[in-house]
Structure formats: C-alpha cells, structure tokens
Structure 1
C-alpha cells in the first residue's frame, strides 16, 4: 500500500482561498452575560427543513468556551460597508471589540449588529468534531434580511467586491 504525501499547509490554504466567501460575525453571550463575537467566513446553510446552518470555530479561539456553552447565537451577515466590523471581530484580543458598536438585542438577548444584510437567530443544536475546529450546528428560529446592499466578500486572503 502506498501512502499519500502530506499536503503542504500553505498550498492547501492558498487553494482554499480561491473559493470566495461571504463574511459573518457570529455573536452570543458568555456564561457571565458578556457579549461575545467572532468573524467567520466558514458559514453555510445545511438544511431547509429543518432550517439549519453551520459555522466553524477554531478550538484555540478566545471565544471558543463561550460558543461551546451558549444555547443560542446570531449570524450577522456583513454588508460591503462593514469591513471595519469584520476586522474588529477577527482580532484575538477580546477587549474593546464592542466599544461604539451599534447593537440591538435578539429575542434570546444575544446582540444583533446593526446594518447587516441579514441576521439569523439560532439555537445551538450540536457541536461536531472538525479537526482543529469545531463545527457549530444551529437551528434558525428567527431571521431578517435587507433587499438592498452588497455583501462583504473574502477572496485569496483579502476583502473583495462584486464587480
């Protein structure tokens, strides 16, 4: 039996970067009630019936414990003019992420970011093993979306726009 040589991590990341994705900030509440948010581009729909979505979160992320324990979360799908929010919630340092950010509470109390293209309020269904990440599966309970605006995109390691 022949073995396959290991993939070069840089080549793997570069190849994956060819897949353009939208960007979302996932928000929840920590056990102490503090707001928590993280930028992701590994978000997708899973099922229409029942309405399920998923996102992936690194096991070493500072927000990992909060999302692992939280019963609910909100997917905030960012608009093209929200690049600053994407950067703010992608930093490893959790301090001052929320300073000056316009939010409103969801039905479950989880913060919803203002001005997003869409929001999906979810109950956490499952945490699934995904190697160095965990796959968070959520059931959508409530949603809202705008008819106008363009998405914030990520492509080949940087922000992109629809031409």
Structure 2
C-alpha cells in the first residue's frame, strides 16, 4: 500500500471526495456515554465499523470537537446504538451540539455499563475504550465489546447520498 504524503492529500479535490463518500452507504449510529459527574452525552456517527472478531472490537471516528469524544477520552464505557427505521428524528437530534439537552424528553435508561441506553435501536453494542488514535480532523476510538443486543426484526437505517433511509431502500436510490 502506498504512503500518501500531506502534499499529495492537499491536491485532492475535496468536493469530489465528499461526493464519493456520499455514495458509500453507512450505518447510522448514536454513541452514548455518561460523564464522571453523571451527565449523559451522545453523538450521531456514520463512521463506525467492526474492527476485529477475535477479540471483538469496534472503531468509531469522532470530530475532535465532540463532547462525546471528550468523555470517552477519560476512558468511560460507551454504547453504540445502530439506529433503525423510524429513528431519523433521533439521528438528527444527536447530530449537533447540545450536550445533555439531547436527552430531554427521551425515555432512556442506564445500561449495566452505566451508559445511557436509547429505546428501539436496531442493535446495541456495549464497549470500553481501549485506544484513541488521532487522524486528521478526527480521532478514532477503539472499543472492546462487552455485550450486544440485536433484535432480529429491526430494519437498520443508513446514510446514503446525504439522506437517511431504511437499508432496504438502497436499491431505489441507485
């Protein structure tokens, strides 16, 4: 694999890169955690993926300014909620800034790890932070999986071509 220097990457057409990335369907997730003082934090992310099956691990890319990243940087456990059909409003709610206000009027509960658990997700993955890796304007958080929930009937939500849609509708968007 070739190394790309910073000079090479500056020559990229950012608009073309963004369009290309928009063509890649991504799962829509909300990552939640609880700060040391008991304040819930959460963020919508589409840059989340499995890293390893043995041991089971996940990786998520956070903007450097993320409140949730600041919490995870302290080693706090976290939940990855894979959103399902009908959770578009929740995805948008957690996409911006807002701190604990994102959790107002949402029925959430504390998971065994202490992180806020949101209702009706297509899947939930409990993790503990094992590594942080800086990468450009983002930080990759590697998490070791401690528990999973996967209701079989759930239809996952994806982000594709700058829109949220049920995964089954990808063919219609092509």
Secondary structure of residue in 2 paired with 1:96:
helix
Return the structure number with greater helix share.
2
Corresponding residue number in structure 2 for 1:128: 133
Corresponding residue number in structure 2 for 1:79: 84
- Aligned-partner Cα distance in 2 for 1:39–1:73: 13
RMSD: 1.5
The TM-score normalised by the length of structure 1 is 0.92
Work out whether 1:56 is the aligned partner of 2:61. yes
Superimposed CA distance per residue, residues 132-156 of structure 1 (whole angstroms, 9 cap, x where no aligned partner)? 1000000000111101021111011
Superimposed CA distance per residue, residues 45-79 of structure 1 (whole angstroms, 9 cap, x where no aligned partner)? 01111000010001022333112113310001100
CA contact (8 A) 1:28 1:70 kept: no
Which segment drifts farther, 113-122 or 56-65? 56-65
- Aligned-partner Cα distance in 2 for 1:67–1:118: 20
Secondary structure of residue in 2 paired with 1:64:
helix
Secondary structure of residue in 1 paired with 2:44:
strand
Corresponding residue number in structure 2 for 1:147: 152
Count of paired positions = 161
- Aligned-partner Cα distance in 2 for 1:125–1:155: 30
Residue 95 (structure 1) shift: 5.2
CA contact (8 A) 2:40 2:99 kept: no
CA contact (8 A) 1:31 1:70 kept: no
